[in-house]
């Protein structure tokens, strides 16, 4: 009974963590804009946390390179199960304009599994919120033990 209560509470009030792998910070600014009163992502019960051990959903922006891949993987591994990952922006999806740089590995999915892709350069706050809502659906499916497939959020 307590486990069911906790599962329902997690779905109604997910905790998210944002990690920037390294980029122009356009997507980071738009991600933080989601927390402002204009977009108010907290209306969905979402709380932004700074500790991966408390996070349900990981928002990742920027290109993955050889210097930050270990940190990204470590953050992902510290998150409790079930968990969802949202890759944000062109850099998070494929490396973006930095794709051909010698130190860039590519998108987030080269290192950790991604549940939702939010395209854009930079991604719009509306698309990021839509991506988080889709990640919540994936999170709910993972709690129930149902199979899932990656999705794309476009606004």
CATH of the domain at 23: 3.40.50.12280
Q: What is the arithmetic mean of pLDDT over 85-111?
A: 91
pTM for the predicted model, two decimal places: 0.86
pLDDT, tens only, 81-92: 889 999 999 999
pLDDT-wise least confident of 12-16, 49-53, 94-98, 107-111: 12-16
3 within some domain: no
59 within some domain: yes
Q: Which residue has the higher pLDDT, 3 or 21?
A: 21
| Residue ranges in 34-124 assigned as alpha helix (H) | 69-78, 89-94
7 within some domain: no
Structure token pair of residue 46: 């979402």
For residue 84, give Cα distances in angstroms to 57, 104, 126, 133.
Answer: 5, 23, 19, 11
The parent domain of residue 33 ranges over 14-152
143 within some domain: yes
- The yes-or-no verdict on residue 155 having pLDDT over 60 is no
Q: What is the arithmetic mean of pLDDT over 92-106?
A: 89
2 within some domain: no
- Residue 2 binned pLDDT confidence (cut-offs 50, 70, 90): confident
For the chain, the 3-state helix, strand and coil shares in percent, each to the nearest 5, are 45, 20, 40
What is the domain count for the chain?
Answer: 1
68 within some domain: yes
């Amino acid at each position: 009974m307590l486990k069911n209560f906790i599962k329902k509470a997690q779905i109604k009030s997910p905790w998210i963590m944002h990690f920037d792998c390294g980029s122009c910070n356009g997507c980071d600014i738009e991600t933080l804009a989601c927390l402002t009163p204009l977009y108010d992502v907290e209306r969905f019960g979402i709380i932004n946390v700074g500790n991966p051990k408390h996070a349900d959903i990981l928002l990742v922006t920027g290109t993955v390179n050889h210097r930050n891949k270990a940190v990204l993987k470590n953050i992902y591994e510290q998150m409790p199960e079930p968990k969802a990952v949202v890759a944000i922006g062109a850099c998070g999806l494929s490396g973006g304009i930095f794709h051909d740089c010698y130190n860039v590995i590519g998108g987030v999915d080269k290192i950790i599994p991604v549940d939702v892709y939010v395209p854009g350069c930079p991604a719009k706050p509306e698309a990021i919120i839509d991506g988080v809502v889709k990640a919540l659906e994936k999170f709910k499916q993972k709690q129930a033990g149902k199979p899932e497939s990656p999705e794309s959020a476009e606004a």
